[in-house]
Amino acid sequence: MTLRVVAAAAAEGLPIYLYGSTPETLSRFSAALLSAYPGLKIAGSEPSKFRLSGPGDAAEIAARIQSSGARVVLVGLGCPRQELFVYAMRPHLDMPLLAVGAAFDYHAGQLRKPPAWMQKRGLEWLWRLGLEPKRLWRRYLLLNPAYLARLGAQRTKLWKAAPPSAAGTPLESFPV
């Protein structure tokens, strides 16, 4: 998905912004993207600080992204940090923010890609679990089934999701 979005942005002349990961990964990822899509405009990039946000961080980050001229933001902070970041930035940015997971690492050449047959069958998660079992087992074997159970409960109207701000507790700190 990430490369399709990047290809479309390059074709439309839409500048992108890369947020997350490390300076080394961002440098390698940017180089790979510019090599594959010569017309691509990377308006800016910013590595993760690997901490929770503080007062004013959201506005400062949003100002940097807005002033770059970007029209699409790719966020690679890892799950669930990137989803929290994207949610927290919604009121501050008027452009699409896409949580792209390990795409920065994959396309920077820092993670081995799964075989084509696994990609076609949606089994990238199994490949990742095999590469990093100590880090990912809990996410894939405990959290994913819990997510599917909630999704099913929501679908059958047994449970209704409430975002933090709707529940009266605004998201005050998020990963940056």
pLDDT tens-digit series, residues 76-104 = 998 889 999 999 999 999 999 999 988 99
Evaluate if pTM is beyond 0.85.
no
- What pLDDT was estimated at residue 165? 57
Mean pLDDT of 20-25: 96
Binned at pLDDT 50, 70 and 90, residue 169 comes out as very low
The Cα–Cα gap between 146 and 161 comes to 14
Q: By the 8 A CB rule, do 105 and 30 touch?
A: no
Residue 20 forms beta bridges with which residues? Answer: 76
Phi and psi at 105, nearest 5°, equal: -65, -45
Is the pLDDT score of 168 beyond 90? no
> Does 80 sit behind a cis peptide bond, omega within 30 degrees of 0 on the bond before it?
yes
Range 79-86, long-range pairs (CB < 8 A, 24+ positions): 79/139, 81/48, 81/174, 81/175, 82/20, 82/175, 84/171, 84/174, 84/175, 85/19, 85/20, 85/174, 85/175, 85/176
Is the pLDDT score of 64 beyond 90? yes
